[in-house]
Amino acid sequence: MSDEADRASEREEAFRVGALAAQARRSSHVGESAEDCAVCDEPIPEARRRALPGVQTCIECQAALEFSTRVKR
């Protein structure tokens, strides 16, 4: 039983480290937010541009990019 708990704890820690690294990358992004998505060319909402300085993709395209990255692992 402790082996399962140890593996779960390791997975949780890896997830946490990855999430913190992703946040650091987003925070350090230099540049202006795009007004239109770099993938689909649809407008990026003002609220998203304010919340994520330097954002280049709309929510839908970003979700698809993140999903495809997770599936490849």
pLDDT score, position 46: 96
CA distance 61 to 69: 12
The residue behind tokens 């992703």 is 22
- Tell me the domain boundaries of the chain: 1-30, 31-73
pLDDT score, position 34: 94
Report the SS3 class of residue 36: strand
Sign of CA dihedral 34, 37, 41, 46: negative
pLDDT per position as a tens digit, 14-69: 888 878 777 777 666 568 899 999 999 999 999 999 998 889 999 999 999 998 88
